[in-house]
């Protein structure tokens, strides 16, 4: 360990020091913790660890097996419809699809996972398939970043372990660097992206045609994210060092050098997006999550892998800034790079969950434990980490695409502390994945952690990362066929051997700058070596740090918001706060003008704000304008959310679905409110006429059932009345727009007809055509289909699951299911069939600070209200309001919020179900206040 410590502090570079850093850190902690552990979390027996490890293997088989059987050679598995996702054959999901290059992405991303999981035979087969089937020359535009971390990284990880196995003498004896050759081919395909004056790569490239040719359909972009430009060095340097072709490492270093030069000099922070031609920061907000995350990760890991001190010095400089401004333990909050005491937002994204793991590598354990603990409590509240959550731990973006970052940090914290608590955390992750995300054909991403609804999506990183980290968490050294500490994990958890640090070093040290900030170690306890916290003698060290935070999510006053207010008090606030703005106040208009913000009155009564920084009176006024616009965006989006009804769930509960398929449904502004009343359960029946626009001719068929009605030709309320008159207990309106899906269209709420709709007593939900066809297909196949309409999916009955697992129909159970995915989190459009009084809500949340020269539209009623006062747990004076009791009550009732409802044939007495559900209703009402 002394080698690691002295190395990190700038003494001569020992040849294999980086290796020592990784291996020795982990080893020390394991020894100290396992030998003297006395109290705290109970140690986990070897049997239990093995059992959990085996469970991970079984889960991997389920995911990988279904991919290979039903999706391969497509890039990804669509686990609800049980088929491959082929780009161009599915509705576009926007940027997410840029990871798909028709190169069997999931197979390549899974290669080294197979070896880690001791599936050597399967690895050998998989490599043969890659060599036989994968084409890297497709006419498809892909993300340079994603292709690098997933495909180049996957090929290099596969190569690294292939040569390791070959050397062992049993497997892969035929292997002759073929994966490396493919990696090199791909590397050359990515190089044209670097043809910019800055050396920062274009964000996208056409695998066949490169960048510029007209047929490339790319090369016109001006911006890229910092992580996109700064997450290449590990793969590119490994490629150079494996092959001797230095150009790759040179290009990646040049991009990193440029980013380093462009850091904001007074704060030492970087923004989220940068202009690849001018180097100007396009988005000047800065955090450790989306858009920046792996830039920091790669600086530290580049030092570990390549033995180049300049990377460590850069990392330390940034880390110092992160800990000064962004880290507000246990929170990590984005700030502005020029005014780093000013928070840029009041929510955090799920990607930052990797950061505690990186802090472990850095040796700064205390904040790692704190942030990890906070994240774990968010997970315990919502089963998964939502894509974004507020500083008071409400859901901000409700999706969860089975991201591995939290598992990654859990693994590294366990390695560092040896605290069995982290094994229990891993066990919870496994349980939640099996309980909520497992479907018959793989694991489905969560579309909404609140409703438990699924998305027809299983990203390749789930196999590349999640199973690796979970398996390693429970594995002892002898469970893995090689020494994991001889390797470093890339951001996609691909393994690169540390011996590369001493191979083909010819280009090390070129192009490095020497401007580093002299850090004043005296004020910080994250200096290196950190004797204070790196070698805690107390085996209960981690627990003692977690203890004060044990109720942070449910009970404490979020510090981030206080800090926003403090920073405003300290003079960084814009002269006019968004919440105070009144479009009729001449003084306000004058201030706006000074800040370069103009006001446009739209015909529909809304006003639109547009900022042109160059029109501001001074650069300070321009910055004030920027902050004002950001505040306005947050305010406006908050208000929109308040006006929206949350999405609802349609859960198919009858055989052979048993509650496993959960469809996201749009609510209605009339009829029974499912968030306030118990859910409605019943068999479905199509109404006649199908559009439900006149008296039903088949009342006997829909009586006591949930009627299916097609959208169109009359108002939603009219349909509801007609099915209600026929005796239906609920209705599902299915979109008549064929192929529509919540993948590609935002959900909306069905509006009334402008008249009194109190007479409508039954619940009504809306499904897009693809989701609706899942139910229609099920009727065709199984005739009797029972569904549950609710605001949140219910747990499945374990007994039913057992029955189901032994059923031969298990495999086909879900194959008729259709896509339920969406990248949009919004539920705010009012249907075109609604009355004119219901105007469309705008989508200010889709504006980022990068869009500042665009516009924010606000409705007149929004101009003076103050949502912050209603919802944040800190009031505007920065004082903590007392929500403790309310939250306590909520957490108590939440314990029981998922009763075991019987799906399918087995029926519980209605009284018992009602008793359970009444508790749920109370809990949900409480939750609704808090987060929906």
- 424 labelled catalytic: no
Look at the block and give the residue holding tokens 């001889």: 486
- Residue 371 within binding range of ligand DMJ, rule CB under 6 A: no
The catalytic position among 293, 320, 455, 621 is 293
**Least distance CB 60 / ligand DMJ (angstroms):** 17
Nearest to 800 by CA among 903, 675, 730, 702: 903
C-alpha 647/C-alpha 497 separation (Å) is: 47
Look at the block and give the residue holding tokens 């990654």: 408
- Residue 474 within binding range of ligand DMJ, rule CB under 6 A: no
The residue among 287 and 659 lying less far from ligand DMJ, judged by its C-beta, is: 287
- Other C-beta atoms closer than 10 Å to the C-beta of 95 total 12
Residues 159, 382, 396, 403: which binds ligand DMJ (CB under 6 A)?
403
- 623 labelled catalytic: no
Q: Give the contacts of 376 (CB within 8 A, at least 6 positions apart).
A: 406, 425
Contact 675, 476 (CB under 8 A): no
Q: In the structure encoding, which two tokens stand for residue 890, read together? A: 């909520």
The catalytic position among 90, 97, 124, 146 is 146
The residue among 295 and 658 lying less far from ligand DMJ, judged by its C-beta, is: 295
Cis peptide before 689 (omega within 30 of 0): yes
Contact 633, 610 (CB under 8 A): no
**Least distance CB 234 / ligand DMJ (angstroms):** 11
Sites for ligand DMJ among residues 431-470 (CB under 6 A)? 461
Cis peptide before 112 (omega within 30 of 0): no
The catalytic position among 97, 122, 235, 405 is 405
- 889 labelled catalytic: no
The residue among 230 and 420 lying less far from ligand DMJ, judged by its C-beta, is: 230
- Residue 492 within binding range of ligand DMJ, rule CB under 6 A: yes
Sites for ligand DMJ among residues 137-176 (CB under 6 A)? 149
**Least distance CB 351 / ligand DMJ (angstroms):** 6
Q: In the structure encoding, which two tokens stand for residue 497, read together? A: 């051997």
# of chain residues touching ligand DMJ (CB under 6 A): 9
- Beta-bridged to residue 675, according to DSSP, are none
The catalytic position among 387, 465, 735, 786 is 387
CA angle 289, 290, 295 (to 5 degrees): 75
**Least distance CB 296 / ligand DMJ (angstroms):** 11
Measured torsion, CA atoms of residues 589, 590, 592, 595, in degrees rounded to the nearest 10: 170
Give the CA distances from residue 130 to residues 113, 144, 333, in Å, rounded to whole numbers and listed in that order.
Answer: 15, 20, 41
- 405 labelled catalytic: yes
Nearest to 715 by CA among 760, 770, 761, 772: 760
**Least distance CB 50 / ligand DMJ (angstroms):** 28
Q: Which of these ranges, 402-410, 540-548, 721-729, 880-888, lies near ligand DMJ under the rule CB under 6 A?
A: 402-410
Binding mask 290-329 for ligand DMJ (x = CB under 6 A): ----x-----------------------------------
**What is the dihedral sign for C-alpha 477, 483, 488, 490?**
negative
Q: In the structure encoding, which two tokens stand for residue 612, read together? A: 């042109």
- Residue 491 within binding range of ligand DMJ, rule CB under 6 A: yes
The residue among 318 and 627 lying less far from ligand DMJ, judged by its C-beta, is: 318
**Least distance CB 256 / ligand DMJ (angstroms):** 16
Q: Which of these ranges, 9-17, 79-87, 399-407, 730-738, lies near ligand DMJ under the rule CB under 6 A?
A: 399-407
Burial class of residue 35, CB neighbours in 10 A (0-12, 13-18, 19+): exposed
Contact 779, 785 (CB under 8 A): yes
The residue among 351 and 733 lying less far from ligand DMJ, judged by its C-beta, is: 351
- Residue 226 within binding range of ligand DMJ, rule CB under 6 A: no
Look at the block and give the residue holding tokens 């008793």: 915
Sites for ligand DMJ among residues 335-354 (CB under 6 A)? 351
C-alpha 609/C-alpha 679 separation (Å) is: 42
**Least distance CB 12 / ligand DMJ (angstroms):** 32
Nearest to 564 by CA among 333, 378, 395, 352: 333
Contact 844, 640 (CB under 8 A): yes
The residue among 351 and 800 lying less far from ligand DMJ, judged by its C-beta, is: 351
Q: Which of these ranges, 401-409, 432-440, 839-847, 898-906, lies near ligand DMJ under the rule CB under 6 A?
A: 401-409
The residue among 227 and 653 lying less far from ligand DMJ, judged by its C-beta, is: 227
C-alpha 316/C-alpha 95 separation (Å) is: 32
Tell me if 491 is assigned to a ligand binding site. Answer: yes
Nearest to 293 by CA among 361, 234, 225: 225
**Least distance CB 459 / ligand DMJ (angstroms):** 7
- What backbone phi and psi angles, to 5 degrees, belong to 148? -65, -55
The residue among 143 and 849 lying less far from ligand DMJ, judged by its C-beta, is: 143
Name the residues that contact ligand DMJ, by CB under 6 A. Answer: 149, 294, 351, 403-405, 461, 491-492
- Which residues are annotated binding-site positions? 491
Give me the active site residues, please. Answer: 146, 293, 387, 405
- Which residues are annotated binding-site positions for Ca(2+)? 491
């Amino acid at each position: 360990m002394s080698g690691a410590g002295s190395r990190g502090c700038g003494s001569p570079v020992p040849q294999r020091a980086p290796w020592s850093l990784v291996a020795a850190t982990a080893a020390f902690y394991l020894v100290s913790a396992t030998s003297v552990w006395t109290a705290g979390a109970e140690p986990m027996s070897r049997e239990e660890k093995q059992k959990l490890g085996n469970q991970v293997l079984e889960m991997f088989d389920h995911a990988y097996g279904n991919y290979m059987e039903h999706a391969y050679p497509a890039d990804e598995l669509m686990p609800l419809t049980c088929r491959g996702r082929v780009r161009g054959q599915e509705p576009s999901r926007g940027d997410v699809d840029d990871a798909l290059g028709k190169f069997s992405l999931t197979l390549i991303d899974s290669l080294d996972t197979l070896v880690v999981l001791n599936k050597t035979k399967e690895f050998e087969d998989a490599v043969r398939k890659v060599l036989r089937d994968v084409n890297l020359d497709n006419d498809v535009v892909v993300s340079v970043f994603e292709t690098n971390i997933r495909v180049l990284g996957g090929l290099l990880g596969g190569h690294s372990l292939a040569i390791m196995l070959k050397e062992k003498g049993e497997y892969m004896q035929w292997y002759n660097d073929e994966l490396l050759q493919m990696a090199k081919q791909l590397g050359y395909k990515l190089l044209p992206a670097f043809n910019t004056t800055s050396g920062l790569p274009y964000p996208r490239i056409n695998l066949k045609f490169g960048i510029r040719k007209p047929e490339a359909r790319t090369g016109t972009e001006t911006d890229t994210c910092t992580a996109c430009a700064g997450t290449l060095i590990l793969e590119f340097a490994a490629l150079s060092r494996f092959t001797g072709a230095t150009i790759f490492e040179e290009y990646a270093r040049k991009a990193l050098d440029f980013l380093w030069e462009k850091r904001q000099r007074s704060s030492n922070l970087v923004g989220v997006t940068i202009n690849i031609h001018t180097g100007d920061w396009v988005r000047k907000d800065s955090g450790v999550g989306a858009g920046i995350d792996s830039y920091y990760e790669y600086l530290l890991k580049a030092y570990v892998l390549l033995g180049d001190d300049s990377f460590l010095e850069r990392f330390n400089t940034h880390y110092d800034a992160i800990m000064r401004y962004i880290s507000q333990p246990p929170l990590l909050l984005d700030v502005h790079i020029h005014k780093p005491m000013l928070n840029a937002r009041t929510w955090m994204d799920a990607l930052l969950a990797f950061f505690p793991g990186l802090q472990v590598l850095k040796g700064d354990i205390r904040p790692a434990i704190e942030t990890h603990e906070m994240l774990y409590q968010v997970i315990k509240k919502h089963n998964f980490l939502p894509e974004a959550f507020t500083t008071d731990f409400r859901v901000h973006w409700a999706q969860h695409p089975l991201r591995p970052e939290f598992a990654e940090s859990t693994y590294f914290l366990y390695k560092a502390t040896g605290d069995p608590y982290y094994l229990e955390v891993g066990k919870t992750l496994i349980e939640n994945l099996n309980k909520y995300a497992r479907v018959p054909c793989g694991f489905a991403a969560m579309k909404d952690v609140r409703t438990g609804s699924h998305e027809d999506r299983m990203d390749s990183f789930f196999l590349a990362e999640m199973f690796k980290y979970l398996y390693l968490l429970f594995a002892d050294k002898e469970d893995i066929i090689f020494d994991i500490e001889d390797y470093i994990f890339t951001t996609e958890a691909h393994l690169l051997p540390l011996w590369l640090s001493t191979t083909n070093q010819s280009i090390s040290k070129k192009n490095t700058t020497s401007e580093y900030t002299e850090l004043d170690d005296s004020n910080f306890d994250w200096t290196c070596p950190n004797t204070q916290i790196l070698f805690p003698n107390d085996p209960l060290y981690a627990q003692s740090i977690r203890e004060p935070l044990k109720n942070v999510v449910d009970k404490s006053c979020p510090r981030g918001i206080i800090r926003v207010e403090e920073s405003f008090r300290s003079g960084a606030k814009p002269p006019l706060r968004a919440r105070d703005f009144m479009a009729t106040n001449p003084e306000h208009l004058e201030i706006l003008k000074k800040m370069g913000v103009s006001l446009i009155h739209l015909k529909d009564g809304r006003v639109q704000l547009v900022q042109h920084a160059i029109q501001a009176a001074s650069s300070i006024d321009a910055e004030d304008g920027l902050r004002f616009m950001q505040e306005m965006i947050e305010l406006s989006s908050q208000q929109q959310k308040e006006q929206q009804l949350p999405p609802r769930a349609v859960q198919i509960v009858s055989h052979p679905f048993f509650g496993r398929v959960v469809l996201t449904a749009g609510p209605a502004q009339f009829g029974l409110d499912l968030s306030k009343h118990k859910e409605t359960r019943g068999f479905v029946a199509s109404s006649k006429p199908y559009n439900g626009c006149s008296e039903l001719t088949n009342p006997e068929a829909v009586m006591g059932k949930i009627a299916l009605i097609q959208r169109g030709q009359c108002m939603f309320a009219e349909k509801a009345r007609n099915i209600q008159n026929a005796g239906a207990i609920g209705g599902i309106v299915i979109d008549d727009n064929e192929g529509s899906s919540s993948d590609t269209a935002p959900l909306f709420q069905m509006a009334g007809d402008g008249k009194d709709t109190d007479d409508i007593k039954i619940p009504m939900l809306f499904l897009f055509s693809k989701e609706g066809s899942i139910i229609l297909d099920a009727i065709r196949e199984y005739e009797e289909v029972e569904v549950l309409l609710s605001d949140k999916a219910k747990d499945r009955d374990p007994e039913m699951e057992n029955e189901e697992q032994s059923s031969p129909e298990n495999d086909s159970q879900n194959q008729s299911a259709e896509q339920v995915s969406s990248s949009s989190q919004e539920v705010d459009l009012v249907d075109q069939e609604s009355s004119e009084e219901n105007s469309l809500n705008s989508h200010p949340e889709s504006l980022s600070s990068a869009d500042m020269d665009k516009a924010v539209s606000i409705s007149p009623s929004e101009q003076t209200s103050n949502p912050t006062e209603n919802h944040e747990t800190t009031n505007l004076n920065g004082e903590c309001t007392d929500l403790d009791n309310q939250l306590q009550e909520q957490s108590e009732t939440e314990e029981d919020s998922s009763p075991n409802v019987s799906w399918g044939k087995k029926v519980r007495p209605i009284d018992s179900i009602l008793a359970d559900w009444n508790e749920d209703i109370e809990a949900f009402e409480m939750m609704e206040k808090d987060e929906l």
